[in-house]
Amino acid sequence: MTKLAIVIPCYNEQETLPRSLQVICACLESLVSRKVISEDSYLLCVDDGSRDDTWQLIVKAHQEDKRIKGLALAHNRGQQFALIAGMEAVCVRCDVCITMDADLQDDPNAIEGMIAQWLDGADIVFGVRSSRDTDSWLKRTTAMAFYRLQRNFGVEAVPNHAEFRLMSNRALHLLAAYGERSIYLRGIIAQLGLKQAVVTYPRAARAAGDTKYSWGALFRLAMNGITSFSAKPITLIFKTGIFLMLIDIVIAIWALVSFLSGDAVSGWTSLILSVWFLGSLVLISIGIIGDYIGKIYIETKQRPRYAIREELFD
């Protein structure tokens, strides 16, 4: 029988967690009763340094139902690190692991299909949204633009896939060998080289509460996803510099011809626009290069990726 572990990262989820645990536990019971998974399957809630009563709710749920395990990080490290902590914790305690958010936007009914794909030989099964109707027009548009940008920069990623996925024990052990601190799981897991499959599902609205991913957090995730897997942005900076140099040469020739013909007119507007444009380009270029240097700085320190404050596995 398949021993399943469901890893759920939680950050300030006191509003939605009770409902989420109820729904996911009911799904577990259904799968156990139909002998899809073993009776010792469980779910692990990883508290990512929440400031509300999330951890207290996890402790209470664990006391009432031993299938609910808990892991508390000492500090808020972000969703990617919370997922890594949870997957490393269950790596030796399950046959397969499924990660999903606590907001019930990921459909628990898709779990059975994921397990079927695993039994058919897939080590990684991606949960892919069949539609993004619950997202705003702006979020849908920017998301698709980001996926295209990733492909152009050579980053392997599955479009319309977030963190809802199944990984076999074999895949978990391979992932554990990646010790980098600049984590972008969607890119790393897609590059593990194991057999992959896809299960589609309708993306629901949040059960309660607000999303913890602000536009700033989404932008940082997007930048990390590109700079962690591709050096093409630096190459793009070089090509842009060459292109601007050619434009400068053309402008210089035009200015010289105008001066020799006596048609030269001094223009403050064109000068100031050029200064602002080139200045902005320089700052953006420095920022991109600085992001790479910052990653090197963080990686060379080899600090622990997270610290565990408390765990409930009894």
Tell me the C-alpha to C-alpha distance, in Å, between residue 184 and each of 81, 175, 180, 225, 310: 9, 12, 10, 5, 25
List of residues 6+ apart from 210 with CB closer than 8 A: none
91 sits in the region (left: phi over 0; alpha: psi -120 to 50; else beta) called alpha
Query: What letter would DSSP give residue 133?
Result: T
For the chain, the structural domain boundaries read 4-214+304-312, 232-301
Residues 6+ apart with CB under 8 A from 289: 234, 237
Among the ranges given (50-59, 158-167, 216-225, 253-262), the one the predictor scored with the smallest mean pLDDT = 216-225
Residues 61 and 68 sit within 8 Å (Cβ to Cβ): yes
The pLDDT tens digits of the residues spanning 282-302 come to: 767 777 777 777 777 777 777
Find, among 9, 30, 20, the residue nearest to 162 by Cα: 9
Q: Is the pLDDT of residue 157 over 60?
A: yes
Burial class for 114, CB neighbours closer than 10 Å (0-12, 13-18, 19+): buried
Cα gap 298→279, rounded to integer Å = 28
Beta bridge partners of 125: 166, 197
How far is it, in rounded angstroms, from Cα 51 to Cα 60?
Answer: 17
pLDDT in tens, 99-155: 999 888 888 999 999 999 999 999 999 998 887 666 666 766 777 777 776 677 666
**Closest alpha carbon to 13 in 41, 44, 55, 42:** 55
Pick among 3.40.640.10, 3.30.420.40, 3.90.550.10, 3.40.50.2300: CATH of 4-214+304-312:
3.90.550.10
